[in-house]
């Protein structure tokens, strides 16, 4: 039902770039206004300090504004008496966005903001460990976005893989672990949906002989322990 609703909403959402930009700007305003409600819930649910929750909300709003101004526009290749040639970008349709628990709002916006700006609609699946803040975000955004353009769908696995394999999904974007990424990729492959995977890593800090130890020490600390160390690109060795 969620994918069908997204497909129906896509029919009109894809056709008006100016309306999309205005809706994304209104969404950014709504997120900022809801900060006092969103931040305490995010802190209680995810565990980060309240100041970091407010910072995540600010980054979420900033992404919406950035992509509102960055929607793809036609690009002229040739324009003379003989020929007019241009590139036009076309939206794909419903996008499945599957996000982890460490930055549930920020990483969600990193997926749905560009997708919406490009004329797609989104079915957003948050982590089962942080569903409440994301559901509240969806409720906040529903006041600024047309019905069906962004749907928040919660549940445990294998919901992500099932969503990725839905024949109505045209692109899947996932951030999370390698094992879950494999399951999501297999689901997307069954429907020949395009897929973007952002998986875990083992990031190193490389210090050269001429490094200023006093200057770099504080940066190394935060590179390793920001968000309690729960960052995919955090320094681990």
By annotation, the residues acting in catalysis are 198, 232
Q: How far apart are CA 165 and CA 38, in angstroms?
A: 31
**Full 3-state SS string of the chain:** CHHHHHHHHHHHHCCCHHHHHHHHHHHHHHHHHCHHHHHHHHHHHHCCCHHHHHHHHHHHHHHHHHHHCCCCCCEEEEECCCCEEEECCCCCCEEEEECCCCCHHHHHHHHHHHHHHCCCEEEEECCCCCHHHHHHHHHHHHCCCCCCCEEECCCCCCHHHHHHCCCCCCEEEEECCHHHHHHHHHHHHHCCCEEEEECCCCECCCCCCCCCHHHHHHHHHHHHHHHHHCCCCCECC
Q: Angle at CA 55, nearest 5°, toward 218 and 57?
A: 155
């Amino acid at each position: 039902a969620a994918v069908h609703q997204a497909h129906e909403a896509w029919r009109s959402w894809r056709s008006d770039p100016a309306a999309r930009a205005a809706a994304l700007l209104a969404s950014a305003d709504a997120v900022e206004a809801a900060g006092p409600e969103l931040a305490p819930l995010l802190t209680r649910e995810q565990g980060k300090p309240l100041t970091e929750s407010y910072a995540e909300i600010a980054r979420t709003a900033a992404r919406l504004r950035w992509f509102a101004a960055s929607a793809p526009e036609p690009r002229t290749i040739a324009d003379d008496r003989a020929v007019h040639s241009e590139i036009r970008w076309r939206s794909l349709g419903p996008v499945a966005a599957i996000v982890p628990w460490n930055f549930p709002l920020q990483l969600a916006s990193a997926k749905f903001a560009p997708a919406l700006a490009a004329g797609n609609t989104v079915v957003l699946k948050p982590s089962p460990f942080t569903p409440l803040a994301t559901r509240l975000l969806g409720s906040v955004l529903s006041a600024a976005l047309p019905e069906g353009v962004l749907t928040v769908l919660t549940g445990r696995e294998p919901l992500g893989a099932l969503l990725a394999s839905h024949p109505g999904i045209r692109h899947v974007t996932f951030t999370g672990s390698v094992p879950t990424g494999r399951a999501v990729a297999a689901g997307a492959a069954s429907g020949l949906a395009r897929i973007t995977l952002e998986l875990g890593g083992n990031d190193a800090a490389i210090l050269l002989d001429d490094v200023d130890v006093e200057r770099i020490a504080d940066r190394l600390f935060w590179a390793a322990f920001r968000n309690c160390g729960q960052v995919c690109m955090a320094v681990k060795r």
